[in-house]
Chains A and B, each alone.
Chain A
Amino acid sequence: GAGVSQTPSNKVTEKGKYVELRCDPISGHTALYWYRQSLGQGPEFLIYFQGTGAADDSGLPNDRFFAVRPEGSVSTLKIQRTERGDSAVYLCASSSSGRGGETQYFGPGTRLLVL
């Protein structure tokens, strides 16, 4: 079946603007994860959803970042008042049930550039 998809592939915005990044997980996967990958670094965890609820949002850097998953499928990562330091690749992943040790399957990411 289809893998994890993310839109847009690339996003250029100006400092101070609001952006939304979308993730469509593998059909039937109840667990969904957001990571941020800065240039030359490994991905860093942002937030994890189990169904519609955020099971762990400890990785969100500040209150400008917010994510939702209202129907337990598609998720949107929202960034308010963007800053140049928010420029990175935002990766989404999903896993079947979120039980310990499950493999996470990643999407191709959204590259965000804040000018």
Chain B
Amino acid sequence: AQTVTQSQPEMSVQEAETVTLSCTYDTSESDYYLFWYKQPPSRQMILVIRQEAYKQQNATENRFSVNFQKAAKSFSLKISDSQLGDAAMYFCAYLWGSQGNLIFGKGTKLSVKP
């Protein structure tokens, strides 16, 4: 069975600094997708970034980038120039190519200090 592990329940970063959130996953599949979602107190899950496993190039979206290590089954999220609005729960998620359902980790609560 596929699993997603986020080993950092909480992280803290100073405003304008950089922080990295960790995620590892376990799968025997070769065709899959990985996601980072942000969940602020409003509860709505917002897509941060998406990575296709067959692409070697790491995905980036403005201040957000990933370090995708397929052999190590690692998918960390780097947030540069952290802003107060980045404070939220961050969830790593896995999606197998032919499945419909996302498999989520337990999340990392990110605090941003002014």
Contact = CB atoms under 8 A, between A and B. Distances in A.
Interface stretch (B60-68, B77-85, B95-103): B95-103
Contact of A43 (B50, B100, B102): B102
Given A42-B107, A101-B52, A101-B95, A33 B43 contact: no
B93 to A, nearest CB: 8
A100 B31 contact: yes
Contacts, number: 64
Interface in B1-40: 4, 31-33, 35, 37
A41 B106 contact: yes
A35 B44 CA distance: 12
Contacts of A59: 101
Interface of B: 4, 31-33, 35, 37, 42-47, 50, 52, 91, 93, 95-107
